[in-house]
Amino acid sequence: MWIDFHSHILPGIDDGAKDVEEASAMLHAMENQQVKTVFATPHYYAHCDKIEDFVEKRQTARAQLEEGNSIKVALRMAAEVALEPEICRLDLTPLFYEGLSAVLLELPASRYKSWMVQEIEEIAYAFSVIPILAHFERYLWYEQEGLRELLQLPKVVVQISANMLANRETMDLIKDLHFLGIPVLLGSDAHNCGARPVCFDVAQKILKKRKYGELEAWITKSTQMILSS
Ligand SMILES: [Fe+2]
């Protein structure tokens, strides 16, 4: 059974599921792929939206999806919070993973700068929250010093996209994270039923290989750790 820590399953709130029909189809795909719980993590950009407005839109989308849907996958709220300077000054609490002391942070697509690690530290300290770095496999092009600083953050957790386990470089990254003792969580980052679908079947196929037994156990242990946070 899987926990999906990163998904754009809520209808009509961001660039994810376009409507309730597509969101329902994504939920069914999750059910078929042994996903027990999905965290809905719509994009949050502090420069675009007030947190209270975002939370209201997210609640409306959740209600639309749950209405008349016999969902067997547990649906919980969170957000993919774009890291911006000084967001630690906002009350970020409503954006945390529902029921957990953790927040999903999306690093900028621009090159690494030292304010990023400072901002994450401020957030972690101010809210006593575990920072989870979203789809970390996307940032391997950051300068080495930047990657080192990010991975040295206290209690940092890394989220990897489930479909990217098919990529040898990603598996090498997970091996390195395991070696460093950094927890690894999986997320589908599913946006739709087309080009960016639910993809835990890919992860399942790779992780069942005997040579990856230790890494599968590390992901399971990491998942249990964060669920008890
Ligand atoms: Fe995402």
pLDDT digits (tens, 9 = 90+) for 7-49: 999 999 999 999 999 999 999 999 999 999 999 999 999 999 9
Cα of 8 from ligand 1 centre, angstroms? 6
Question: What is the Å distance from ligand 1's center to 105 Cα?
Answer: 10
In angstroms, what is the span from residue 74 Cα to ligand 1's centroid?
A: 19
Nearest in space to 182 (alpha carbons), one of 138, 229, 131, 145? 131
Give the Cα separation of 208 and 154 in Å (integer).
Answer: 31
Distance CA 138, CA 115 (A): 19
Question: Taking Cα atoms as reference points, which of 5, 3, 32, 82 lies closest to residue 193?
Answer: 32
Question: Ligand 1 centroid to 6 CA: how many Å?
Answer: 6
Residue type, 59: Q
Provide φ and ψ at 104, rounded to 5°. Answer: -90, 120
3-state helix, strand, coil in the chain (%, to 5): 45, 15, 40
pLDDT band at 72 (very low <50, low <70, confident <90, very high): confident
Sole residue written with tokens 């006593």: 128
Q: What is the largest CA-CA distance in the chain?
A: 50
The pLDDT of residue 70 = 81
pLDDT at 69: 77
Residues β-bridged to residue 74? 37
In this predicted structure, the answer to whether residue 57 has a pLDDT above a threshold of 80 is yes
Closest CA to 146 of 102, 110, 180: 110
The CA 118 to ligand 1 mean position distance, Å, reads 22
Per-residue pLDDT, averaged over 212-226, amounts to 96
The percentage of the chain sitting over the pLDDT mark of 90, rounded to a whole number, equals: 95
Q: Which residues neighbour ligand 1 (ion) by CB within 5 Å?
A: 80, 189
Range in 89-93, 111-115, 130-134, 172-176 with the lowest mean pLDDT: 111-115
Which of the four pLDDT bands, split at 50, 70 and 90, describes residue 104?
very high
**Distance, C-alpha 215 to centroid of its chain:** 18
Place of tokens 């969170």: 78
pLDDT at 68 over 80: no
54 C-alpha vs ligand 1 centroid, how far in Å? 16
Q: Which residues of 51-64 are buried (b: 16+ CB within 10 A; e: fewer)?
A: beebbebbeebbeb
Say which amino acid occupies 58. Answer: R
* Count of beta carbons in the 10 Å neighbourhood of residue 187: 25
What average pLDDT does the chain have?
A: 96
